[in-house]
A = this chain, B = another copy of it.
Amino acid sequence: MANILILGAGVMGTAFSFPLADAGQEVSLVGTHLDQEWIQGIRTDGIHPKLKAKLPEQVRPFTHDQLGDTLTENTDLIVLGVSSPGVDWAIRQLGEHLKQPAPILMLTKGLAVRENHIHILPAIVREGLAAYGIKDVPVGAVGGPCIAGELAARRDSSVVLAFSEQKFLDWLLPLVAVPYYHARPSTDLIGVEVCAALKNFYALAVGYASGLLEKQGKAENGAFMHNLAAGLFTQAIAEMGYMVEFLGGTSANVYGLPGVGDLYVTCQAGRNSRMGRLLGLGLSYQEAKTKYMADDTVEGADLALSIGPTLEALLEQGQLNPARLPLARVIIETICHNQLMQIPWTHFYPASA
């Protein structure tokens, strides 16, 4: 039995407590200052109000001000389930309260820019903790197609657990070994994390197909636009492969659960697809966001806004090859420069075999 602390009681942080608890671990679920409502709900009837699922008995809920007491020398693993803008907050909290280094597993997804370079979040967390004198903390991540609500419903979900060092994977895998959670190890942390972030970004483009279909309607012969969506999906995978290699990962994860699998699931549902649909209907990003999704976090768009300028600079400098990223360039034009989305078909699939 391991003692595990999950920081962040949103849907994903909370859902991850299910395989842990079902596999026999003791789990402390610590909400952030934004999660008070969820923690309160769990304390009332054991049910997370947004996840709409009853938590296992071994999961104990705590509020953010209890972090200091909950994080002890006995904590074997810290799971970070905050939102991507919450990472800096989480680093501060851990920096102040961590008594003894413990491995960190990140559910939080995203990429960050530091000095015109793109970094994965585990690197940011390591660097952030080092500033508090907490050095050499192993930081890993979870990738793959895993909608939180389905995981909390104990429906078959397949993921990749990634740590740079195999020994943490060997230790971690048995801790989540339950029949509905199909976790596989990978030491390609960069590949897993870049896929996890970019799938939201590219889901904007695949979602565009459904909006365009809605706008143009079925053809006279009843035809949809599945060919078009499949083309966008394929180009997205190709570009994810290029980006992963550029940032130092390997393409195997792109063609596996973190890439193909997670992009597939992300295109079935969610806010990124909804934003893509609005773009396909012919709206600009700004109009779509302010009129229809003002209160929603659209992670793919936030990522575009955050890494867009850096990607443009890398393309400009020739460090990235524009011919390999035609779809990414269009997404950046759409989100960062408020251009109407247009698909550059003639530039697609340059790397066919």
Q: Which of A28-36, A97-105, A226-234, A298-306 is near enough to bind chain B? A: A226-234
Q: Which of A145, A187, A346, A353 has the most CB of B within 10 A?
A: A353
Q: Is the CB of A234 within 8 A of B156?
A: no
Known: A219-B149, A234-B145, A345-B182. A156 touches B261 (CB 8 A): no
A302 to chain B, nearest CB (A): 22
Q: Which of chain B's residues have a CB closer than 8 A to the CB of A188?
A: 353
Q: Which of A109-117, A251-259, A280-288 is near enough to bind chain B? A: A251-259
Q: Is the CB of A53 within 8 A of B256?
A: no
Number of copies: 2
Q: Which of chain B's residues have a CB closer than 8 A to the CB of A160?
A: 349, 352
Chain B residue at minimum C-beta to C-beta distance from A252: B353
Residues of A in contact with B, size category: 35 or more
Known: A150-B219, A220-B53, A264-B233. A227 touches B257 (CB 8 A): no
Q: Which of chain B's residues have a CB closer than 8 A to the CB of A268?
A: 224, 226, 229-230
- Which residues of chain A in 196-253 are interfacial with respect to chain B, using CB atoms and an 8 Å cutoff? 219-231, 233-234, 237-238, 241, 250, 252-253
Question: Which residues on A are within 8 Å of B, measured CB to CB?
Answer: 51-53, 145-147, 149-153, 155-158, 160, 179, 182, 184-188, 191, 219-231, 233-234, 237-238, 241, 250, 252-257, 260-262, 264-265, 268-269, 343, 345-346, 348-349, 351-353
